[in-house]
Amino acid sequence: MERRELVENAKRFVFYVYEPVLYSTVGTLDVLADQLHEILRLMIRPYISVRIVPAGRALTGDFTMLSFAKYEPMAYVEGLNSALFLDDRASIALYAKVLARLDEVALDEDASRRLIDRVLTHGFDPDDQLVELLGPAGTC
């Protein structure tokens, strides 16, 4: 019974990561490699999904959409000197549209994992074609 409750009440996290972040070093290349390895380790967990948004497909700045079983959803938007929790219907609808579009343009989990692995294995080559990495016709 306890296991069922855990599964039924399980949280699900989906992270959309903009592809250029994979090549951005903050600190040393070792730090970047450690961060990419940590993302790969997190992706093993069944309740965590990491999806890479290809370069040129960014839709907006950072935000977090929070969904609850007992409460209405809200969006959390952080700025340089402030943060907002938005819970009005218009804002939620807008951020839901952005999430739906991100879901359309982002690589699936396997392709995202392969891209991160490629960056770790081969580094970043600006002439690399993402389509070649993903397979025929850019299918994921």
Residue 121 structural domain: 1-57+106-128
Number of domains in the chain: 2
What are the mean pLDDT values of the chain's consecutive 10-residue runs (140 residues total)? 53 91 84 93 94 83 89 93 96 95 94 94 63 41
The pLDDT of residue 123: 75
Same domain, yes or no: 87 and 111: no
- CA 6/CA 66 separation, integer angstroms: 19
User: What's at 127, amino acid-wise?
Assistant: D
The pLDDT of residue 91: 96
Same domain, yes or no: 46 and 95: no
The pLDDT of residue 23: 86
- CA 66/CA 2 separation, integer angstroms: 25
The pLDDT of residue 27: 82
**Is 114 inside any structural domain?**
yes
Q: Which of 126, 136, 123, 109 is nearest to 17 (CA)?
A: 109
The pLDDT of residue 140: 38
User: What's at 86, amino acid-wise?
Assistant: L
pTM of the model: 0.77
The pLDDT of residue 139: 39
**Is 140 inside any structural domain?**
no
**Is 15 inside any structural domain?**
yes
Same domain, yes or no: 22 and 43: yes
**Is 7 inside any structural domain?**
yes
- CA 79/CA 93 separation, integer angstroms: 20
- CA 34/CA 85 separation, integer angstroms: 32
Same domain, yes or no: 113 and 53: yes
The pLDDT of residue 25: 79
The pLDDT of residue 26: 80
